[in-house]
Chains A and B, each alone.
Chain A
Amino acid sequence: MNFDSTMADMKVYFDHNATTPLHPEVKKEMIAAMEMFGNPSSMHSYGREARANVEDARRKVADFLGAQEREVIFVGSGSEANNTVLSLFVCGTSQCVSGSKTRSTIITTKIEHPCVLETSECLVHRGVRVKYLNVDQYGKIDLDQLAGMLGDDVGLVSVMMANNEIGTIQDIETITRMVHESGALMHTDAVQAIGKVPVDVRRLGVDFLTLSAHKIYGPKGIGALFVKKGIPYCPLIRGGHQEQGRRAGTENTLGILGLGKAVEMRALEMPKEEERLLHLKQVLRRGIEERIDAVHVNGHPVDSLASTLNVSFTGVEGEAILLYLDLEGIAVSTGSACASGSLDPSHVLLATGVDAELAHGSIRFSMGRESSMQEVEYLLDVLPPIIQRIRNMSTAYIKGGLHAASR
């Protein structure tokens, strides 16, 4: 097999967990909104028009989450929302959040997004204690370990609802009940779960929830943070009365309208989509397992996003797979260090006990609303010869066992 240097005709985007294309309806809404330049804080007609539309979008987001409008704060990204929630607890060492002075420990997991993990590490230097929950081989957190960690010192527990890399979904409802019984507050990063599985903040019972628009066919640079009514709060970005003083900065009206439309479209399209995606994932998984030997599927067999499949290929480095697939017009991502610019493979896969070699050889396929059976079949045609080609030049693979040289 030789590659032509011209790009392949067929284009397949299987990296929806990284970001998604704008929904055509969102695009329409945003193009119209570009004319609306008023500052929502202004009292004149321009401002009133912008304010009305921002509040309409807030209502749509609140409806989508089963929340009240006042409980939704627009922020610049999922990362900002997560930073905001965690940073609240720096105030645990001062007087901002009453009662939290003695509850200055945060519990989170080893498989969170870096915006939670790195913020947690930083907060340690500012007087916060952080404990990390282990996960099992499927990426599920250990509830017994959580029970053991909870206590009078814990102020906040932050557990992501669905994992971006392996798709594993946590039982947030149960976790929240445990957390509340111990007197702590509960946050969930639902960036990957929103718009893929039903999310109702009342049913989950959470105090804080993070979402981002660009993972659900909305624009980049806009997200939302749900903060349950009556929960102590402290802004991360100060200096304005916007968002009821909870997030300063003139509202990103274009982004907010895009997010409003995006959740509206999700509410319409999500229910009938899951079954279709699950079928595509089964075909993809079975096809890979049948056509390629020595593969390892990562993530939970059942409690997993229908759109996400993470597979490790023995003896093959992930960046090479990614770039060969890219030459064939297929976009995926990898847990290999080489593709990320760091040198460590996926912290999520390592936390599930996958060894470093298999983590370097992992590929994440994440499908979306427009993914088709034709695309899955194209991938299944293209992938086996690529893996075979790389294995043929690999020191780490011979059929039926490791290459002698690798022992």
Chain B
Amino acid sequence: MLQAGEWAYSETLKEHFMNPKNILQGENTDDFDGVGMEGNLQCGDQMMVVIKVDKENDVITDCQWKTYGCASAIASTSVLSEMVKGRTLDAAFHISPKEVAQELGGLPDHKIHCSVLGDKALRAAINNYYTRNGQEDKVKQEQTKVICQCMSITDHDIEDAVLEGARTYFELQERTKCGTVCGQCKDETEVLLEKFKHIHFGA
């Protein structure tokens, strides 16, 4: 018989969950140069990332965070906060959830969604830094628009799913899980579904 003891997640994730790095102590964020906040409590996870920046070189010198979230959210943000230190703002902005997951030694499919909040909040913090320092021109608007907040599904994801064969709202949900939590995005998603079907397939 197999023995218990194997954890639900990777050893790296477990280590970061047990001893998370760079947690923001207290509530005061005045000492930081950029603050980013993502997610909402109703969906069960929320993330705040704060950064300090070496203004000469645009390099992140410190990154701290707080979350209302599960083990994956805690561990992935802990890893992320270590990864970004010493990187330029531009390099940090382009860290993908995939890199974070790799650094963690992998995540179960249904947990990817819990780990994306960290880098979203980081990007918000970087943009916040640019805004505060009169560099609005550098604020990078997300190239995509998040349609389903709960599952972090963007218009690009919906387009991809249509290209891969989704033709109905149900099929779209099966592929992307969009609208499977609070369902508030249903109308907007259906409009996009029709739009992408029309653009790509003339339907």
A, B: real partners: yes
User: A residues within 8 Å of B by Cβ?
Assistant: 2-3, 5, 7, 315-317, 319-320, 323, 327, 336-339, 341, 343-345, 355-357, 360, 392-398, 403-406
10 contacts between A and B (CB under 8 A): A317-B68, A319-B71, A323-B8, A338-B70, A341-B110, A343-B43, A343-B181, A356-B44, A393-B20, A395-B68
Say whether, besides A319-B70, A319-B71, A344 and B18 are in contact (CB < 8 Å). Answer: no
Interface string of B51-69 (1 = CB under 8 A from A): 0000000000000011111
CA separation between A7 and B4, bound complex, in Å? 11
CA separation between A407 and B117, bound complex, in Å? 18
Which residues of A sit under 8 angstroms from B151, Cβ to Cβ?
343
Say whether, besides A395-B47, A406-B46, A7 and B5 are in contact (CB < 8 Å). Answer: yes
Say whether, besides A317-B69, A323-B71, A398 and B18 are in contact (CB < 8 Å). Answer: no
Add 9 more A-B contacts to A323-B8, A393-B20 (CB < 8 A).
A2-B18, A7-B5, A344-B181, A356-B41, A357-B44, A360-B41, A360-B44, A394-B66, A395-B47
| B41 and A357 form a contact (CB under 8 A) | yes
- Secondary structure at the A interface, as helix, strand, loop or mixed, is loop
Which residues of A sit under 8 angstroms from B96, Cβ to Cβ?
none
Residue of B nearest to A2 (CB): B19
Say whether, besides A392-B23, A395-B46, A339 and B180 are in contact (CB < 8 Å). Answer: no
| A398 and B27 form a contact (CB under 8 A) | yes
CA separation between A104 and B133, bound complex, in Å? 68
CA separation between A401 and B20, bound complex, in Å? 24
In angstroms, how far is the closest chain A Cβ from the Cβ of B4?
9
CA separation between A397 and B41, bound complex, in Å? 11
User: B residues within 8 Å of A by Cβ?
Assistant: 5, 8, 14-15, 17-20, 23-25, 27, 37, 41-48, 65-74, 110-111, 113-114, 150-151, 177, 180-181
Say whether, besides A317-B45, A327-B18, A396-B46, A404 and B27 are in contact (CB < 8 Å). Answer: yes
| B48 and A395 form a contact (CB under 8 A) | yes
Which one of A315, A338, A355 lies within 8 Å of B114 (CB-CB)? Answer: A338
Which residues of B sit under 8 angstroms from A5, Cβ to Cβ?
14-15, 18
Which residues of A sit under 8 angstroms from B37, Cβ to Cβ?
395, 405
Say whether, besides A2-B18, A317-B69, A393 and B110 are in contact (CB < 8 Å). Answer: no
Which residues of A sit under 8 angstroms from B20, Cβ to Cβ?
393
Which one of A315, A323, A404 lies within 8 Å of B68 (CB-CB)? Answer: A315
In angstroms, how far is the closest chain B Cβ from the Cβ of A165?
17
Say whether, besides A7-B5, A336-B70, A403 and B41 are in contact (CB < 8 Å). Answer: no
Which one of B15, B18, B42 lies within 8 Å of A356 (CB-CB)? Answer: B42
Which residues of B sit under 8 angstroms from A336, Cβ to Cβ?
44, 70
| B42 and A393 form a contact (CB under 8 A) | no
Which one of A316, A356, A393, A406 lies within 8 Å of B23 (CB-CB)? Answer: A393
CA separation between A209 and B24, bound complex, in Å? 53
Interface centre among A323, A341, A397, A406 (most CB of B within 10 A): A323
Which one of B19, B24, B43 lies within 8 Å of A3 (CB-CB)? Answer: B19
| B66 and A393 form a contact (CB under 8 A) | yes
CA separation between A336 and B69, bound complex, in Å? 10
Which residues of A sit under 8 angstroms from B24, Cβ to Cβ?
393
Which residues of A sit under 8 angstroms from B114, Cβ to Cβ?
338
| A396 and B19 form a contact (CB under 8 A) | no
Which residues of A sit under 8 angstroms from B177, Cβ to Cβ?
343
Which residues of A sit under 8 angstroms from B23, Cβ to Cβ?
392-393
Which one of A2, A319, A357 lies within 8 Å of B42 (CB-CB)? Answer: A357
In angstroms, how far is the closest chain A Cβ from the Cβ of B24?
8
Say whether, besides A343-B180, A395-B48, A320 and B70 are in contact (CB < 8 Å). Answer: yes
Residue of B nearest to A403 (CB): B27
CA separation between A2 and B46, bound complex, in Å? 24
Interface centre among B5, B37, B44 (most CB of A within 10 A): B44
| A393 and B71 form a contact (CB under 8 A) | no
Residue of B nearest to A397 (CB): B68
Which residues of B sit under 8 angstroms from A403, Cβ to Cβ?
27, 66
In angstroms, how far is the closest chain A Cβ from the Cβ of B41?
4
| B48 and A405 form a contact (CB under 8 A) | yes
Say whether, besides A317-B44, A356-B42, A395 and B66 are in contact (CB < 8 Å). Answer: yes
Which residues of A sit under 8 angstroms from B67, Cβ to Cβ?
393-395
| A343 and B150 form a contact (CB under 8 A) | yes
CA separation between A156 and B127, bound complex, in Å? 59
Which residues of B sit under 8 angstroms from A316, Cβ to Cβ?
68
CA separation between A302 and B150, bound complex, in Å? 37
CA separation between A344 and B177, bound complex, in Å? 12
Which residues of A sit under 8 angstroms from B41, Cβ to Cβ?
356-357, 360, 396, 406
CA separation between A337 and B150, bound complex, in Å? 12
Which residues of A sit under 8 angstroms from B181, Cβ to Cβ?
343-344
| B71 and A320 form a contact (CB under 8 A) | yes
CA separation between A405 and B24, bound complex, in Å? 13
CA separation between A394 and B41, bound complex, in Å? 11
In angstroms, how far is the closest chain B Cβ from the Cβ of A338?
4
